[in-house]
Chain A
Amino acid sequence: MIQFFKNPNYDIIGKRKIATIISTVIILIGIVSILIQGLHYGIDFEGGTLIQLKFANKTTAGELRDLLKNPELGTPVIQKSAENEYMIRVKSFGTKNIIIGKIKDDLKDKKFEVRRVDKVGPKIGGELRTSGILAIFVSMLLVLLYISIRFEFKFAVGAIIALFHDILITLGIFSIFQWEISMPVLAAFLTIVGYSLNDTIVVYDRIREDRAAYRNTKSFLEIINLSINQSLSRTIITSLTTFLVVFVLVIYGGETLFGFAIAMLIGVVVGTYSSAFVAAPLLIYWQDKINTTKSKKRLR
């Protein structure tokens, strides 16, 4: 039998203070970055025009930047998507082919094939953003409800905070590196919602089971630590396989899937960490708080 952990018994709960500090710092850095440089929305959410061109001959991004001098294009964002293949993005959205025509005009000396044209009006972009955020919140609310029914309310709160934690960190990293937030990235975020919950539930499920078994012999703190350790193998193995599969997407998926894959990759890592170091310890903080208020009441 191959095992990564033989009878693991780590003091994970004991490290909860350090974990809290690490998480808080990372989230704060992310929030500062979001406040200062904001998020880099793609045309899906901001509106604009994107054209993807494949050139017959060797072409560099610098060359394209020099060619695209038309003042009406503003500063086009040029991004390489494959060998001699580029995505050119402009902020303006023309219902007619004015923008596309101008780009084609500027590049008329080069031979290329138009592989993709996306034009999104500013209004629809804003709507997509709103409905995306709405989707995240609605799913959170429903999950809160589900966990409250299946477990307890405090478990639900713990799971949702862990979820916020994961999404905030991922968003923060996207802001720090100014990676583009497009439709697929939003899908990845929603998958992180599912994945993070999945991980948290597995640990919670174990806590629920152990609590019934050791109610009289072990303290709540000990039970939680035991449960995290018991589910450690599973957490690591599952995360590792998912990580490997998503890693393949990062390497092989190309520019179109990069945003999606990298968001998933971050989500898997952060989700695994948070299920052990955030979601479970949160139950203790909660318990402590109840105990202190109870004892205060008793003192009075």
Chain B
Amino acid sequence: MSRKLIFNYVIIGLLLIWAVYELAPTVRFEQLTQTEKENLKKEGKLSDLKSKIIKRGLDLQGGMHLVLEVNVPKLVDGLAKNKSISYYDFIEKVNKKHKENIDEDFFNIFLQEANNSGIRLARYYMDRGHQNKDIVKSLQKEARESVTRALEVIRNRVDQFGVSEPTIQRQGNKRIIVELAGVTDVERARNLIQSTALLEFKLLKDATIAQDAINRIDQVIRKEKPNTNLTDTTTQNEKILEKSSEDKAVSLEDIFGITETNATDKSDSLRDSSVTVDENIVAERPFSSLLRNLGRIGTGVPAENVFAVKKILNMKEVKKVLPADLEILWSNKSEILTTQSGEAKEFYVLYFVEREPGLTGQHVTDAKGTIASMSSNNAGQPVVHVDMDSEGAKIWSRLTGANIGKRVAIVLDNKVQMAPNIKSKIPSGRTVIEGLSNLEEAKDMEIVLKAGALPAPLDIIEERTIGASLGADSIRKGTMSVLIGLFVIIIFIVFYYKGSGLIAFFTLVLNIIFVLSILAFLGATLTLPGIAGLVLTMGMSVDANVLIFERIREEYKKGKTVRSSVENGYNRAFITILDANLTTLIAALVLWQFGTGPIKGFAVVLFWGIIFNFVSGYFISKTIFTTITTRKIIKKLSI
């Protein structure tokens, strides 16, 4: 054997050893039984093994894929202070324009509209500069940075949630991709990731101020609809409802806002039922007639009226007449109460609170979700214990000390979790949050409070969930497709090319093995489209062999010896294979660059398939052929 051939075999040998080394963990993992996996887990070796096997995409193992986007309009609106009537007019116009040209940058529209309507943004964004241009720049920076911080917060939350190997990455300027393998409780995972987790402590306004606000709203409604009577009110409300039921889910969200999880779904299903009004006062005080006095609890809204009340509170005319420092918040959950007539009714509660929070969750240092101990006054209930840093404790102590006898609302994501009476000064900063339905909810609140609040509201713009059983099906089908494809090829190619066909088939199998090895080596993910890429690689691999064999046959027919036919055949086919494969490689590279998710998975496999096609389809097959034809004089070529 010539020196060159020996060198070739050394390279091939090394490649094969590498492939076995890379693929062994995957093969071993596949053969493990459930109990063996448990044992390895106890020994702490499972995660080590798992890190070496070929990763499976979500489409093959089941899980959840989320794309989140920072809601820039909401972020900007949330940062505004001292909102006035002209601000509401302005922001309404901006949002309308933004909805019409969804592709244009929000900040462009924002700045343009501010300049056009002569709005001095410095009035609402004081500490961000004087010129409108500077303020927009500062807001833009804030939006960009908020994605980075949100990424961190989500990572913390997911880590504590206990998902193995989550993928959390930034995409572009305002998006975050989260991939959670094997997650089954989709609803819970989604809430955990998406909830802003903004914790605020806000003092309740005096009852007289609340009553005054209600009166003002009553006046506005009467002025807007001067001839209101009972039937009119009902139909008017029903009209609102009818209109909304035609709306798509997207616009509904605009009415409600993204943070209102529970109530949205609730009122959503109820919105085509009629509202209940208090007959005695509806003509005089249309807004009050939708409300009920719940005594010590506060102002109640019967569940069926929630939609109408929200609609009214969102009216621009209503916002105008309310004091700037007053905010009206909803309760987190409804309460079932028995009315005077003895029937059980479902109520939500409206809270009239100070707009500026007395204290926020940024001072929280630790949280613990648990069942309250028997000695405490909320024994057996799920609660979350919150600890604050020294500054938080100082503020909290001052706040509680100065307002004994008043109520303070504990607000999470603009929903009032509870509104206890302040009985005494709390010096330590320790607080207990109640009003949770179960321990799981308490645990989730612990996670989000510990991980911190999201710096900006996030919208889910893409969500894909794949069940584990579907993933298993896909693996089965994918493997089967590859195997059947191999079978078809071996039958065909051995029938057509005889012994040479066998060599071609051998190099084809090697090609697949090498591609899988590099996937394991790079820690790349195999997806269903990736398997399709593998099938295509098989096609390309066969093509390389066919090109070579046809050339050899041509040379052979010209009457050349076996040896020189093989030599010439390989050399002549090389240029063709190179050009043909390189053009496909270009296409694969573009796919890799531009593609998202599934396309990328396909492109990666195709790319490596082509690379290894040169190795096995050309180099290895040539080495084998040359060995056979040089060792002994073969008179006839099996081709």
Contact partner of B488 among A97, A143, A234, A244, CB < 8 A?
A244
Q: Is A134 an interface residue (CB 8 A)?
A: yes
Contact between A116 and B466, CB atoms less than 8 A apart: yes
Contact partner of B546 among A124, A132, A187, A238, CB < 8 A?
A238
| Complex interface residues of chain A between 113 and 153 (CB less than 8 A to chain B) | 113-124, 128, 131-132, 134-135, 138-139, 142-143, 146-147, 150
User: Which among B264, B459, B460, B461 has the greatest number of chain A C-beta atoms within 10 A?
Assistant: B461
Q: Given A138-B594, A245-B488, are A187 and B463 also a contact pair (CB < 8 Å)?
A: no
Q: Is A14 an interface residue (CB 8 A)?
A: no
Contact between A241 and B591, CB atoms less than 8 A apart: no
CB-CB under 8 A from A19, the residues of chain B are none
**Least Cβ–Cβ distance between A104 and chain B, in angstroms:** 12
CB-CB under 8 A from B540, the residues of chain A are 198
**Least Cβ–Cβ distance between B110 and chain A, in angstroms:** 18
Which residue of chain B has the shortest Cβ distance to A121 in the bound complex?
B461
Instruction: Tell me, in angstroms, the Cα distance from A194 to B493 when the chains sit together.
Output: 23
For chain B, the bracket of interface size reads 35 or more
Contact between B535 and A245, CB atoms less than 8 A apart: yes
CB-CB under 8 A from A260, the residues of chain B are 529, 532
CB-CB under 8 A from B532, the residues of chain A are 184, 187, 249, 257, 260
Q: Is A41 an interface residue (CB 8 A)?
A: no
Contact between A201 and B576, CB atoms less than 8 A apart: yes
CB-CB under 8 A from A186, the residues of chain B are 599
Contact partner of A190 among B187, B268, B477, B587, CB < 8 A?
B587
| Complex interface residues of chain B between 572 and 616 (CB less than 8 A to chain A) | 572, 575-576, 579-584, 586-588, 590-591, 593-599, 602, 606
Q: Given A98-B249, A134-B594, A241-B493, are A139 and B599 also a contact pair (CB < 8 Å)?
A: no
Contact between B463 and A119, CB atoms less than 8 A apart: yes
The main secondary structure of chain A at its interface with chain B is helix
Q: Is A248 an interface residue (CB 8 A)?
A: yes
CB-CB under 8 A from A191, the residues of chain B are 536, 587, 602, 606
Contact between A117 and B539, CB atoms less than 8 A apart: no
Contact between B550 and A233, CB atoms less than 8 A apart: yes
Binds A, one of B10-18, B161-169, B467-475: B467-475
Q: Given A97-B187, A205-B575, A238-B543, are A115 and B470 also a contact pair (CB < 8 Å)?
A: yes
Binds A, one of B141-149, B329-337, B478-486, B623-631: B478-486
Binds B, one of A21-29, A87-95, A166-174, A285-293: A87-95
Contact between A1 and B553, CB atoms less than 8 A apart: yes
Instruction: Tell me, in angstroms, the Cα distance from A299 to B590 when the chains sit together.
Output: 47
Contact between B576 and A124, CB atoms less than 8 A apart: no
Q: Is A18 an interface residue (CB 8 A)?
A: no
**Least Cβ–Cβ distance between A134 and chain B, in angstroms:** 6
Interface string of A57-94 (1 = CB under 8 A from B): 00000000000000010000000000000000000111
The main secondary structure of chain B at its interface with chain A is helix
Contact between A98 and B460, CB atoms less than 8 A apart: no
Which residue of chain A has the shortest Cβ distance to B474 in the bound complex?
A256
Q: Is B102 an interface residue (CB 8 A)?
A: yes
Contact between B547 and A234, CB atoms less than 8 A apart: yes
Q: Given A123-B102, A197-B583, are A253 and B481 also a contact pair (CB < 8 Å)?
A: yes
CB-CB under 8 A from B467, the residues of chain A are 113-116
Contact partner of A245 among B485, B580, B587, B588, CB < 8 A?
B485
Instruction: Tell me, in angstroms, the Cα distance from A252 to B579 when the chains sit together.
Output: 33
Contact between B462 and A121, CB atoms less than 8 A apart: yes
Q: Is B489 an interface residue (CB 8 A)?
A: yes
Contact partner of B579 among A118, A124, A205, CB < 8 A?
A205
CB-CB under 8 A from A206, the residues of chain B are 576
Contact between B253 and A95, CB atoms less than 8 A apart: yes
Instruction: Tell me, in angstroms, the Cα distance from A142 to B594 when the chains sit together.
Output: 14
CB-CB under 8 A from A146, the residues of chain B are 582-583, 586
| Complex interface residues of chain A between 209 and 252 (CB less than 8 A to chain B) | 209, 230-231, 233-234, 237-238, 240-242, 244-246, 248-249, 252
Q: Is B21 an interface residue (CB 8 A)?
A: no
Contact between B543 and A2, CB atoms less than 8 A apart: no
Contact between B591 and A244, CB atoms less than 8 A apart: no
Q: Is A262 an interface residue (CB 8 A)?
A: no
CB-CB under 8 A from A237, the residues of chain B are 496, 546, 550
Instruction: Tell me, in angstroms, the Cα distance from A1 to B550 when the chains sit together.
Output: 11
Instruction: Tell me, in angstroms, the Cα distance from A249 to B481 when the chains sit together.
Output: 6
CB-CB under 8 A from B245, the residues of chain A are 72
Interface string of B546-587 (1 = CB under 8 A from A): 110010011000000000000000001001100111111011
Instruction: Tell me, in angstroms, the Cα distance from A54 to B465 when the chains sit together.
Output: 15
Q: Is A183 an interface residue (CB 8 A)?
A: yes
| Complex interface residues of chain A between 17 and 39 (CB less than 8 A to chain B) | none
Q: Given A95-B253, A116-B466, A143-B587, are A241 and B481 also a contact pair (CB < 8 Å)?
A: no
Contact partner of A143 among B474, B542, B583, CB < 8 A?
B583
7 extra interface residue pairs, beta carbon distance < 8 Å, beyond A93-B250, A96-B249, A135-B594? A2-B496, A101-B265, A116-B470, A117-B464, A135-B590, A139-B587, A249-B481
9 A-B pairs within 8 Å (CB atoms) are namely A95-B459, A96-B253, A115-B467, A202-B576, A234-B546, A241-B489, A241-B543, A248-B488, A249-B535
* Chain A residues engaging chain B, CB cutoff 8 angstroms: 1-2, 52, 54, 72, 92-99, 101, 113-124, 128, 131-132, 134-135, 138-139, 142-143, 146-147, 150, 183-184, 186-187, 190-191, 193-195, 197-198, 201-202, 205-206, 209, 230-231, 233-234, 237-238, 240-242, 244-246, 248-249, 252-254, 256-257, 260, 264
* Chain B residues engaging chain A, CB cutoff 8 angstroms: 67, 102, 186-187, 245, 248-250, 253, 258, 261, 264-265, 268, 459-467, 469-470, 474, 477, 480-481, 484-485, 488-489, 492-493, 495-496, 528-529, 532, 535-536, 538-540, 542-543, 546-547, 550, 553-554, 572, 575-576, 579-584, 586-588, 590-591, 593-599, 602, 606, 639
